[in-house]
Structure 1
Amino acid sequence: MWSGEESSRLYALRRFVDVYPTITKPDRHVRFNEKMWTTTFVLIIYFAMTNVMLFGLSGQALDLFSGFRSIMAGASGTIMHLGIGPIVTGSIIMQLFAGAKI
């Protein structure tokens, strides 16, 4: 039968819980209207990124990620097609600038 903490192997992971990132509760009550505006703004940005074509990219180019586009709802050759690469590159450049105090 159940004998407390010793019976579960999950308690062995307790030391990892302290370093695992968590989401804190908001300092104030977030109103429904504010949540709706934020969600609408994010959906508009997502719609723009999936429909704005990249400059210089042919619409007839080879589409290697057609299977993923059906899941992510993006068109071939759009900003969303770039993925996370520009975000990571921009972050690295900003860290280099901050380190060089530019």
Structure 2
Amino acid sequence: PKEFVPEPLNLRQTLTLSGTVMQDSNTGNMTHDIYDMLSYVSHIATMQPGDIYAMGSPSGVGTARETPIYMTAGDIAVCEIEGIGTLTNPVVGP
């Protein structure tokens, strides 16, 4: 609920890959702000508490680096948005 996040347009967002910071940005840098995106999504889907909506990626994507970095089996990807929470995903392979 919005009362738990009083200023969603100024939150730090990071992604670390096995402890290495790959992305470090702020929701204020998003191409479309959170209000516009949630309005758009609400016309397509019914939102429920706890839903997670992926809204793109800040700069630092591994494939866009001079030497590309790809996730491999055993890596741990940790996405965090200040004041909202952390999502940790192990990377598994075939």
**Alignment TM class, shorter chain as reference:** under 0.3
More helix by proportion, 1 or 2? 1
More strand by proportion, 1 or 2? 2
